[in-house]
Amino acid sequence: MMKIDPDLTVNEIIKRYPKSLPVLNAFAIDTCCGGEDPISVAASAANVPLETIVAAIAEASHADA
């Protein structure tokens, strides 16, 4: 499974994994004003387990690979 540092901000994740943007939006993760929040905080605020988000980002990032 893809490893994402839970302390990375939402903006850093989008920069590293551009295909994560629609995934984050699907989970109602704030990619605008909340982009400076760590992904762990954003996941908690959205009531989604971090592991679920990481798995979805991994799937989206490898879809064309």
Digit-coded pLDDT (tens) for 13-63: 999 999 999 999 999 998 888 799 999 999 999 999 999 999 999 999 886
Say if 29 falls within a structural domain.
yes
Cβ(36)–Cβ(9) below 8 Å: yes
Say if 26 falls within a structural domain.
yes
Q: Letter for the amino acid at 18?
A: P
Say if 2 falls within a structural domain.
no
Residue 65 is predicted with a pLDDT of: 46
Q: What is the pTM of this model?
A: 0.86
Residue 34 is predicted with a pLDDT of: 76
Q: Residue 64: what are its φ and ψ, rounded to 5°?
A: -100, 0
Measured CA angle at 10 (ends 6, 11), to 5 deg: 130
Q: Is residue 64 over pLDDT 60?
A: no
Residue 61 is predicted with a pLDDT of: 87
Say if 3 falls within a structural domain.
no
Distance CA 41, CA 61 (A): 22
Domain count, the chain: 1
- Range of the structural domain that residue 40 is part of: 10-62
